[in-house]
Structure 1
Amino acid sequence: MLLRKLYPMSFCVLIVFSALGQAEAKTLVPLSSFGGGDGWLDPSESTALTTNNNQRGMTYNSLNNHVYVADREGGSNIRVLNGDTGALISSLDMTGVGGGTFTIDMIDVAEDGAIYVGNLSTSAASNFKVYRWANEAALPTVAFDGLSNLPRTGDSLAVRGSGVGTQIIASGGGSTGFALLNTVDGVNFNNAGNFGATAPAGRFRLGIDFIDSTRAVGLQTGGTISDADFSGGAANGNPVNSLGEAPLAYDQTNNLLATIDINSSDVRLYDGSDLSLLTTTGFMDLANNLTAASVANGNGVGDLKFGTGPSGDLRLYAMNTNNGIQAFQVVPEPASFALLSLGFAGLLISRRRS
């Protein structure tokens, strides 16, 4: 009698666990409020965007639902956009910002809301410079102004953590590996060393992000993604699905990886917990909100960022330079919802019968 009572419960629990495993699969759904109803902020819809290669860095601040764009059109400006609609709100104060091949290039935001923007250094003998805004109302300060010990720095940049735990990584074309910047006071940064040098040159050039506090992932066109840790160990390389995938973002909370194809503006979503599976079981979804053909992006640049929206929804913003910004909600696949509901329903029925 005991076995007969336990069996239905065990069976239903098995369904629930199976459903929970499958619920990890995610899909990309256009954030329809963004860009006039289609999830795409076309350059023709915003004065913060152009089609002449002058916006390469973009990020999202979950704390205030704002998107930031590093804009070099007609000067150096950091544009602030509404995360729901893409409407231009304001620009940051640029007092004292200057120098570099590009004065501003890539941008990211820390977990405490501090905004970091790097210039572009094209020589190992010229300083790489990172500016910091404590918040949108603050004047910029210089967080780092020194040698990165790389031949080119600033094509890619990522930030994680907050306060004294903030970390910055950056790389560029032709550079072997990336530079890691640390801080002891949350304001001023130092070069903690170069890592990932065993990866092919430029592998962290067009896309870089943190997997966690000890490891980074990088990508350029060519179809291979690399990751390396901060202990100086050898870098790993694994294939992705398209030769055009380059800019990327990694969500450390959910172990999700996203890329954008510089040729087509296709956005791909992956389970990033095992980078060796990106072309097989790790691939989750492909989406593209563009309603027109992609504009050429000859430099292969752009940016992506995961973040949590005001209602707790997981979002992904993706910019393929010259092609505006796409916005998505990252949601469980409908099939996963159905299986999960079936599992819990079975569990309730089993409890009632027992």
Structure 2
Amino acid sequence: MKLLVTGGAGFIGSNFIKYWFNKYPKDYIVNLDKLTYAGHPSSLKDIVGKKNYNFVKGDICDEKLVDKIMGGIDAVVNFAAESHVDRSIIDPDIFVKTNIVGTTVLCRQAVKHHVKRFHHVSTDEVFGTLKLTTSDKFSENSHYDPRSPYSVSKAAADFVVRMYLHTFGLPITITNTSNNYGPYQDPEKLIPRLITNAMDNQPLPVYGDGKNVRDWIHVDDHCSAIDIVLRKGQPGETYLVGVNCEKYNIDIVKTILKIMDKPESLISYVPDRPGHDRRYALDSSKIRRQLGWRSTHDFDIWLTKTVEWYQQNKWWWRPLKARAESIYKK
């Protein structure tokens, strides 16, 4: 199989490429990435040089480039996206361009080149927020209610992909997943920011009261879910991917400090960000029931392993740290 992976130098994309080559070493992957703040070639240093891997630096909004590299592709896995809520509040325009216009370009060229499967990676944030006082979870039938520039752009991209199914016959699948964690995640994101700040004995900022809830999944479990959707998922279907791992943000902070043997005096409560969704939770029974997907990464064990990875790989995150922190000073 020949895959086009967009955004393959980012956190989830780079982990997916390594996952795929480990499981399907004879497949060919073209990695298209613009190498913005979220794309790091260092995440794929062990892949560079493989005869069945080709990195292309470029923008998914570049129609001519996408047309050129789409030829002969069997499946597209679209990770490419602007994905940081805080950044979307500061500069919404780039989120519209990349997440909506870019996805449209990819779909149009996938139709032109008769791609057999277009898989679009999306987020639980398109569904809005849930109340802390309920046990409700989002499902594939939940209505869309995005509340940030980021989630609005991702919701629009989901609808673009579905439109290309209904209007142009593009065989698409979509996964909406919960918050990912694991190695090679940019230190501007919550868990790696907490870990790296703690390593430097810097304050660990917590928005509001710290009681916002996120549903956490290890990146390798996410990759295995995409794998099974590509192989067994039905064209036109959406699958929610989560592992029933809801955690208060403040509990994540305290757990990381405990793992690292750091004092809770490092916790620093800061004003909440605008439109901060209170709770996300996903019902992933469909992908489990219909496709037989199972998660294999226990949160407590793999959060500890993630802490250890950052402790052992300063060479990767240290050059990114100053830029990552700068976004929070705007």
Q: Same fold, TM exceeding 0.5?
A: no
Pick the structure with more strand per residue.
Answer: 1
Q: Give the alignment's TM-score, normalised by structure 2.
A: 0.28
Report the TM-score, using the length of structure 1 for normalisation.
0.26
Larger Rg: 1
